[in-house]
Amino acid sequence: MKKIILFVSMAASMMACRKSATVPSTGTQEVEANWSTTAQYGSYTTDGYTFNNDIWGSGAGSQTLWVNSYSNWGVWSDQPNTGGVKSYPNCAKYIGTAINSINTCTSSFNVTIPGNGSYEATYDIWDSNNAHEIMLWMSYTGSVGPISYNYNASGQAVPVVWGVTVGGHTWNVYQGTNGSNLVYTFTRTSNTTSGTVDVRAILKWIENEGWMGNVTLGNVEFGYEITSSNGGLNFDTNSYSVTSN
């Protein structure tokens, strides 16, 4: 595929995708990508994976999603330092198999993410009817918190399960609803920028807890849920894949 050249406005940081040898000194950087978008809900499909820019929150700023392949993509996002999620640029793969009929379902990732801002590098996993949403927070920073039925006196979400090891990682687990669907959030007890997740094991654990039945697995998404990235920050996916049978 013919590559396109992007000139992405930058505040203080530099894009980490495939770059040209020359970096302009005018506050922009030339980068190469097979596809990119600044559209609010810009989407692109390749090799069974679908990318979505997904700028959905109130008061959102500008954002550029770029893609070289399903395993090499990223986003530059400039979101104001205000409350509430602004966007979830992501890559999704649809499975379409009932949990108890899945033999294996795993996903691996490797990312380069900023040390400031407020965001999560997170999976967002859905059943086919979008009634159950499972978030796996692999890394998170800043003013973010999971949806929960229970909060303490300081307004912090309270887990329903502490320190459970499942799917290859150790998590605190929260339950709640966003008004449209049930939400189960697994926050890793320490941040990581790379690893492999046994998605099937997590789904079976939820089923065994009695929180959902033998639902059909829909989209397995991975991306960056961004609350603030004031001035523009880069979120780079160095590798990513979903394997299921």
Q: Tell me the domain boundaries of the chain.
A: 4-244
Of all helices (H) and strands (E), which one includes residue 157?
A: none
How far does CA 40 lie from the centroid of its chain? Answer: 16
Q: What is the tens place of the pLDDT at every residue in 31-47?
A: 589 999 999 999 999 99
Q: Is 208 helix (H, G, I), strand (E, B) or coil?
A: helix
* pLDDT of amino acid 19: 34
* pLDDT of amino acid 92: 98
Flag residues of the chain having pLDDT under 70.
1-31
CATH of region 4-244: 2.60.120.180
Distances (CA, A) of 134 to 40, 56, 152, 157, 203: 24, 19, 22, 16, 9
- Bridge partners for 77 per DSSP: 63, 233
pTM: 0.90
Q: Yes or no: say if 160 and 174 are a contact pair by the CB < 8 Å rule.
A: yes
Structure tokens, 205: 């654990």
Name the residue type at position 86. K
